[in-house]
Amino acid sequence: MKINFTNISYKIAVKYHIIFWCSYFIINVIRWGSYFNDYWYSIKSNLVEFPLHILIVYFNIYYLFPNYIIKKKYKRYFIYLFLSLICSYLLRTAFNYLLVSENIWPEAEGVQEAFTFNHLLAVMIGEIYVITFVLTIKLIIAWLYEKNRVESLQEVQLKTELQFLKAQIQPHFFFNTLNNLYALTLTNSKLAPEVVLKLSEIMEYILYDAKESKIRLLKEINYIQNYIDLEKLRFGNKVNISFNFQGDLESDYVPPLLFLPFIENCFKHGTRENNNLLIEISFKKTANRKLIFSVVNNFNKFSFQNTKHGIGNKNIKRRLELLFKDNYTLLMKKENEKYFVNLTLQL
């Protein structure tokens, strides 16, 4: 995951910077006050050193890192880092000597003087420790922020794609139903008003209920029944449908318009001229809260070979991937002029 140092800095409120440095200062005062058994000395020395810590840390995080490390200018970074450490050492040593104590290295064993290699190395390592410590916190915050940002974008993308896939079903369904209604009006069929009534009920379902992420399973089944009623008005006695329900389905919720494409395909591929359509639909809820939806229908070979603009199965497979990830199985097969669909979902 790529971390953007130029933008992430503005996501940390100033109050958190103040809280961090105040907490770090108090811990350091207690630590060195306990070590020297002189808390007044610890307060004075930390008051001198902490402004320098803050300056060199922010200089590294907000200037050197974005301009040199991120841009892979490593030599320049280490040159500027070394120069900033030298400046910090000179200022720290001078201020400690003038404002705190002439003994500028009391924690060292024996008599140690300023501007020696050992003292220079000790002070620089201390500054590098502070820079590394704060930079680690910065990287963790940046990583968490970027992780949340990516997850938010993925969630928005997921919702957008699901809405698009759901929207595809609606015009697809209405296109088929209006074709059915058109066929009835051509023959001045008395069934046309009933088709209009059923269609209005389905439109109400799609306009209001289908907007939700999940609806009651029984409501979805009722919607399927309305669709089947429309098709039966068109095909009459040529359609023979059986429903089978097992388990308590009243308290369960499913994504809307999930099963309709499979039912649509039954009518799309199962009827032609004088062929009768036989459909068996089953909803079964298991003890481990799995829903098994199955459809079996006879099909017309010619309609399979001449299908145009089919979006049903492709649409539903993508929706299942987005909604359930690995918590579903979908099996579809043709056998002995019958088409079998078996969909298992984890409720």
Q: What is the pLDDT of residues 229-238, one digit of tens each?
A: 877 877 777 8
- Return the number of other C-beta atoms located less than 10 Å from residue 168's C-beta: 18
pLDDT of residue 111: 55
Please say if the pLDDT value at position 305 is more than 80.
no
CB 117 within 8 A of CB 105: no
What six digits make up the tokens of 62?
């907000």
Mean model confidence pLDDT for the chain: 81
- Return the number of other C-beta atoms located less than 10 Å from residue 101's C-beta: 14
Which segment of 107-111, 170-174, 291-295, 305-309 scores lowest on mean pLDDT? 305-309
pTM, full prediction:
0.54
User: pLDDT > 90: what percent of the chain?
Assistant: 25
What is the arithmetic mean of pLDDT over 124-148? 88
Strand partners, 295: 281, 341
Question: Which pLDDT band, with edges at 50, 70 and 90, does 9 fall under?
Answer: very low
- Cα separation, 219 vs 65, whole angstroms: 58
| Residue 176 vs residue 75, higher pLDDT | 75
Quick one: how many helices (H) and strands (E) in the chain? Answer: 10, 7
- Cα separation, 73 vs 65, whole angstroms: 10
Please say if the pLDDT value at position 274 is more than 80.
no
Residue 33, C-beta contacts closer than 8 angstroms, at least 6 positions apart:
39, 41, 42, 43
| Residue 220 vs residue 153, higher pLDDT | 220
Q: Give burial (CB, 10 Å; 0-12/13-18/19+) of 186.
A: exposed
- Return the number of other C-beta atoms located less than 10 Å from residue 331's C-beta: 10
- Cα separation, 170 vs 207, whole angstroms: 10
Please say if the pLDDT value at position 311 is more than 70.
no
Which of 195-204, 236-245, 310-319 is predicted most confidently? 236-245
pLDDT of residue 190: 75
pLDDT of residue 87: 93
CB 266 within 8 A of CB 224: no
Which segment of 44-58, 168-182, 309-323 scores lowest on mean pLDDT? 168-182
Domains and CATH numbers, the chain: 5-151 (no CATH), 189-346 (3.30.565.10)
- Cα separation, 204 vs 171, whole angstroms: 14
What six digits make up the tokens of 168?
């595809």
Q: Are strands 277-285 and 239-246 parallel, antiparallel or unpaired?
A: parallel
- Cα separation, 75 vs 88, whole angstroms: 20
- H or E element, residue 53: helix 39-59
- H or E element, residue 146: helix 117-186
Of 15, 18, 95, 9, give the one whose Cα is nearest residue 59. Answer: 9
Question: Residues 190-218: pLDDT tens digits?
Answer: 777 877 887 787 777 777 777 777 888 99
pLDDT of residue 159: 64
Question: Residues 19-76: pLDDT tens digits?
Answer: 999 999 999 999 988 988 889 988 999 999 999 999 999 999 889 988 998 889 999 9
